[in-house]
Amino acid sequence: MRRAPARPSLRVGIVTLAPEMFASVLATGLIGRAIRAGLLEAAFANPRDYARDAHRRVDARPYGGGPGMVLMPGPLDAAIRQVAKRGSWIVGLSPRGRPFGAPTASRLAKKKQIVLVCGRYEGLDERVCESFDEEISIGDYVLSGGEVAAMAVLDAVARLVPGAMGNASSFAEESFADGLLEYPQYTRPRVWRGKRVPAVLLSGNHARIGDWRRRKSLELTRRLRPDLLLARKSSKV
Protein backbone atom coordinates (compact mmCIF):
# COMPACT_ATOMS: atom_id res chain seq x y z
CA MET A 1 0.00 0.00 0.00
CA ARG A 2 1.23 3.51 -0.83
CA ARG A 3 2.06 5.57 2.23
CA ALA A 4 -0.11 8.62 2.78
CA PRO A 5 1.71 11.96 2.53
CA ALA A 6 2.32 13.63 5.91
CA ARG A 7 0.04 16.52 5.07
CA PRO A 8 -2.92 16.52 2.71
CA SER A 9 -2.74 18.99 -0.19
CA LEU A 10 -6.26 20.16 0.52
CA ARG A 11 -8.35 20.12 3.66
CA VAL A 12 -12.07 20.62 3.18
CA GLY A 13 -14.34 21.54 6.05
CA ILE A 14 -18.02 20.95 5.37
CA VAL A 15 -20.62 22.75 7.44
CA THR A 16 -23.96 21.03 7.04
CA LEU A 17 -27.11 19.95 8.82
CA ALA A 18 -27.06 16.77 6.73
CA PRO A 19 -23.54 15.26 6.86
CA GLU A 20 -24.96 11.82 6.07
CA MET A 21 -25.61 12.99 2.50
CA PHE A 22 -21.85 13.05 1.85
CA ALA A 23 -20.98 9.49 2.95
CA SER A 24 -21.03 7.74 -0.42
CA VAL A 25 -19.50 10.67 -2.31
CA LEU A 26 -16.51 10.71 0.05
CA ALA A 27 -16.08 6.93 -0.06
CA THR A 28 -16.34 6.39 -3.81
CA GLY A 29 -14.18 6.82 -6.90
CA LEU A 30 -11.60 9.56 -7.23
CA ILE A 31 -12.60 11.39 -4.03
CA GLY A 32 -12.50 8.15 -2.02
CA ARG A 33 -9.05 7.32 -3.40
CA ALA A 34 -7.72 10.83 -2.77
CA ILE A 35 -8.90 10.64 0.84
CA ARG A 36 -7.45 7.16 1.39
CA ALA A 37 -4.15 8.32 -0.16
CA GLY A 38 -4.08 11.25 2.27
CA LEU A 39 -4.17 13.87 -0.53
CA LEU A 40 -7.53 15.20 0.55
CA GLU A 41 -9.04 15.47 4.00
CA ALA A 42 -12.68 16.14 4.84
CA ALA A 43 -14.02 17.23 8.23
CA PHE A 44 -17.62 17.97 9.15
CA ALA A 45 -19.31 20.38 11.50
CA ASN A 46 -23.04 20.38 12.16
CA PRO A 47 -24.73 23.57 13.37
CA ARG A 48 -27.23 21.35 15.20
CA ASP A 49 -24.44 20.41 17.62
CA TYR A 50 -24.26 24.08 18.62
CA ALA A 51 -27.97 24.67 19.11
CA ARG A 52 -28.70 26.18 22.48
CA ASP A 53 -32.22 25.05 23.36
CA ALA A 54 -33.69 21.70 24.34
CA HIS A 55 -35.19 21.24 20.86
CA ARG A 56 -31.78 21.83 19.24
CA ARG A 57 -33.26 24.51 17.01
CA VAL A 58 -31.03 26.04 14.40
CA ASP A 59 -33.61 28.08 12.50
CA ALA A 60 -36.15 30.79 13.22
CA ARG A 61 -38.76 32.89 11.43
CA PRO A 62 -37.38 35.80 9.38
CA TYR A 63 -37.57 39.28 10.91
CA GLY A 64 -39.88 41.38 8.78
CA GLY A 65 -42.03 38.37 7.97
CA GLY A 66 -42.13 36.18 4.91
CA PRO A 67 -42.24 32.49 4.18
CA GLY A 68 -39.97 29.78 5.53
CA MET A 69 -37.27 29.71 8.13
CA VAL A 70 -33.80 31.22 8.29
CA LEU A 71 -30.68 29.61 9.81
CA MET A 72 -29.71 31.49 12.96
CA PRO A 73 -26.23 32.97 13.02
CA GLY A 74 -25.03 31.52 16.36
CA PRO A 75 -25.03 27.76 15.69
CA LEU A 76 -23.90 28.26 12.10
CA ASP A 77 -20.98 30.46 13.04
CA ALA A 78 -19.93 28.06 15.82
CA ALA A 79 -19.92 25.18 13.33
CA ILE A 80 -17.85 27.19 10.84
CA ARG A 81 -15.34 27.96 13.58
CA GLN A 82 -15.08 24.27 14.43
CA VAL A 83 -13.65 23.44 10.99
CA ALA A 84 -12.08 26.73 9.89
CA LYS A 85 -8.38 27.12 10.63
CA ARG A 86 -6.50 30.36 10.34
CA GLY A 87 -6.25 31.21 6.66
CA SER A 88 -9.18 29.00 5.66
CA TRP A 89 -11.04 30.15 2.57
CA ILE A 90 -14.71 30.19 3.48
CA VAL A 91 -17.18 29.48 0.68
CA GLY A 92 -20.94 29.81 1.04
CA LEU A 93 -23.04 27.75 -1.38
CA SER A 94 -25.97 29.82 -2.51
CA PRO A 95 -28.04 30.47 -5.63
CA ARG A 96 -27.01 34.12 -5.36
CA GLY A 97 -23.30 33.23 -5.56
CA ARG A 98 -20.95 33.66 -8.49
CA PRO A 99 -21.45 30.97 -11.14
CA PHE A 100 -19.15 27.98 -10.57
CA GLY A 101 -16.90 26.90 -13.42
CA ALA A 102 -13.51 25.38 -14.25
CA PRO A 103 -11.54 28.57 -13.36
CA THR A 104 -13.08 28.66 -9.85
CA ALA A 105 -12.42 24.93 -9.40
CA SER A 106 -8.73 25.33 -10.22
CA ARG A 107 -8.43 28.39 -7.99
CA LEU A 108 -9.96 26.50 -5.05
CA ALA A 109 -7.76 23.42 -5.69
CA LYS A 110 -4.69 25.59 -5.01
CA LYS A 111 -5.85 26.47 -1.48
CA LYS A 112 -4.62 24.64 1.60
CA GLN A 113 -7.96 24.66 3.37
CA ILE A 114 -11.45 25.52 2.23
CA VAL A 115 -14.70 25.46 4.18
CA LEU A 116 -17.93 24.78 2.30
CA VAL A 117 -20.96 26.19 4.09
CA CYS A 118 -24.26 24.58 3.07
CA GLY A 119 -27.44 26.53 3.61
CA ARG A 120 -30.88 25.02 4.16
CA TYR A 121 -34.38 26.41 4.53
CA GLU A 122 -34.98 29.90 3.09
CA GLY A 123 -31.41 30.96 3.71
CA LEU A 124 -28.81 32.03 6.22
CA ASP A 125 -28.75 35.06 8.46
CA GLU A 126 -26.95 37.72 6.38
CA ARG A 127 -24.56 38.56 9.23
CA VAL A 128 -22.89 35.14 8.84
CA CYS A 129 -22.63 35.53 5.05
CA GLU A 130 -20.57 38.67 5.71
CA SER A 131 -17.78 36.45 7.03
CA PHE A 132 -17.57 34.37 3.84
CA ASP A 133 -14.69 34.90 1.42
CA GLU A 134 -16.98 34.17 -1.49
CA GLU A 135 -20.36 32.73 -2.41
CA ILE A 136 -20.72 30.19 -5.20
CA SER A 137 -23.75 29.04 -7.16
CA ILE A 138 -23.77 25.90 -9.30
CA GLY A 139 -26.54 27.20 -11.52
CA ASP A 140 -29.58 29.41 -11.79
CA TYR A 141 -32.01 27.18 -9.95
CA VAL A 142 -32.78 26.73 -6.28
CA LEU A 143 -31.77 23.49 -4.56
CA SER A 144 -33.33 22.47 -1.25
CA GLY A 145 -29.94 22.92 0.38
CA GLY A 146 -26.31 23.66 -0.41
CA GLU A 147 -25.21 20.03 0.04
CA VAL A 148 -25.62 18.89 -3.56
CA ALA A 149 -23.85 22.07 -4.69
CA ALA A 150 -21.02 21.45 -2.19
CA MET A 151 -20.63 17.92 -3.56
CA ALA A 152 -20.37 19.25 -7.11
CA VAL A 153 -17.73 21.78 -6.04
CA LEU A 154 -15.88 19.16 -4.00
CA ASP A 155 -15.83 16.69 -6.89
CA ALA A 156 -14.61 19.24 -9.44
CA VAL A 157 -11.94 20.54 -7.04
CA ALA A 158 -10.76 17.10 -5.82
CA ARG A 159 -9.90 16.03 -9.38
CA LEU A 160 -7.48 18.95 -9.60
CA VAL A 161 -5.64 18.26 -6.34
CA PRO A 162 -2.09 17.29 -7.31
CA GLY A 163 -1.78 13.51 -7.53
CA ALA A 164 -5.53 12.84 -7.35
CA MET A 165 -6.02 12.13 -11.01
CA GLY A 166 -2.75 10.41 -11.86
CA ASN A 167 -2.59 11.43 -15.49
CA ALA A 168 -1.86 15.16 -15.62
CA SER A 169 -2.19 15.42 -19.39
CA SER A 170 -5.89 14.58 -19.14
CA PHE A 171 -6.40 17.98 -17.47
CA ALA A 172 -5.10 19.79 -20.50
CA GLU A 173 -7.39 17.88 -22.83
CA GLU A 174 -10.64 17.76 -20.93
CA SER A 175 -13.66 19.95 -21.60
CA PHE A 176 -13.32 23.65 -20.68
CA ALA A 177 -9.53 23.47 -20.18
CA ASP A 178 -9.06 25.55 -23.31
CA GLY A 179 -12.51 27.09 -23.35
CA LEU A 180 -13.68 24.28 -25.66
CA LEU A 181 -15.53 21.02 -25.21
CA GLU A 182 -13.48 17.86 -25.32
CA TYR A 183 -13.24 15.92 -28.60
CA PRO A 184 -15.39 12.76 -28.94
CA GLN A 185 -13.92 9.51 -27.61
CA TYR A 186 -14.24 5.96 -28.96
CA THR A 187 -13.20 2.56 -27.68
CA ARG A 188 -13.70 -1.11 -28.56
CA PRO A 189 -15.32 -2.57 -30.57
CA ARG A 190 -14.24 -0.96 -33.84
CA VAL A 191 -17.69 -1.50 -35.31
CA TRP A 192 -20.76 -1.27 -33.11
CA ARG A 193 -24.30 -1.53 -34.50
CA GLY A 194 -22.82 -0.89 -37.90
CA LYS A 195 -21.12 2.33 -36.78
CA ARG A 196 -17.37 2.51 -37.35
CA VAL A 197 -14.78 4.25 -35.23
CA PRO A 198 -13.33 7.10 -37.36
CA ALA A 199 -10.44 5.63 -39.36
CA VAL A 200 -8.01 8.38 -38.39
CA LEU A 201 -8.05 7.14 -34.77
CA LEU A 202 -6.80 3.74 -35.90
CA SER A 203 -4.07 5.22 -38.11
CA GLY A 204 -1.39 5.56 -35.44
CA ASN A 205 -0.54 8.97 -36.96
CA HIS A 206 -0.49 11.20 -33.89
CA ALA A 207 -0.20 14.47 -35.77
CA ARG A 208 -3.29 13.64 -37.84
CA ILE A 209 -5.13 12.41 -34.75
CA GLY A 210 -4.27 15.67 -32.97
CA ASP A 211 -5.59 17.74 -35.92
CA TRP A 212 -8.76 15.68 -36.12
CA ARG A 213 -9.42 16.03 -32.39
CA ARG A 214 -8.89 19.77 -32.48
CA ARG A 215 -11.30 20.10 -35.40
CA LYS A 216 -13.93 17.92 -33.67
CA SER A 217 -13.50 19.87 -30.48
CA LEU A 218 -14.29 23.10 -32.32
CA GLU A 219 -17.19 21.51 -34.23
CA LEU A 220 -18.75 20.12 -31.06
CA THR A 221 -18.36 23.41 -29.23
CA ARG A 222 -19.90 25.34 -32.13
CA ARG A 223 -22.87 22.94 -32.22
CA LEU A 224 -23.49 22.36 -28.49
CA ARG A 225 -22.05 25.40 -26.71
CA PRO A 226 -21.60 28.32 -29.10
CA ASP A 227 -21.58 30.62 -26.06
CA LEU A 228 -18.17 29.19 -25.10
CA LEU A 229 -16.69 30.23 -28.44
CA LEU A 230 -17.96 33.77 -28.01
CA ALA A 231 -16.59 33.95 -24.47
CA ARG A 232 -13.24 32.61 -25.71
CA LYS A 233 -13.02 35.20 -28.48
CA SER A 234 -13.74 38.07 -26.16
CA SER A 235 -11.23 36.86 -23.56
CA LYS A 236 -8.48 36.71 -26.18
CA VAL A 237 -8.76 40.30 -27.41
CA 123, CA 232: separation in Å to the nearest integer? 35
Binding mask 46-85 for ligand ADE (x = CB under 6 A): ----------------------------------------
152: left (phi over 0), alpha (psi -120 to 50) or beta: alpha
Is there binding between residue 94 and ligand ADE (CB under 6 A)?
A: yes
Is there binding between residue 138 and ligand ADE (CB under 6 A)?
A: yes
Angstrom CA distances, 34 to 4, 121, 171, stand at: 10, 32, 16
Cβ of residue 116: shortest distance to ligand ADE, in angstroms?
10
Is there binding between residue 149 and ligand ADE (CB under 6 A)?
A: yes
From the list 14, 93, 108, 154, which residue makes contact with ligand ADE (rule: CB under 6 A)? 93
Angstrom CA distances, 141 to 24, 95, 148, 227, stand at: 24, 7, 12, 19
Is there binding between residue 154 and ligand ADE (CB under 6 A)?
A: no
User: For residues 21-40, which are near ligand ADE according to CB under 6 A?
Assistant: none
The bridge status of strand 59-60 relative to strand 70-71 is: antiparallel
Binding mask 214-233 for ligand ADE (x = CB under 6 A): --------------------
User: CB under 8 Å to 37, separation ≥6 — which residues?
Assistant: 2, 4, 5, 163, 164
Residues that bind ligand ADE (CB under 6 A): 93-95, 97, 119, 137-139, 141-143, 146, 149
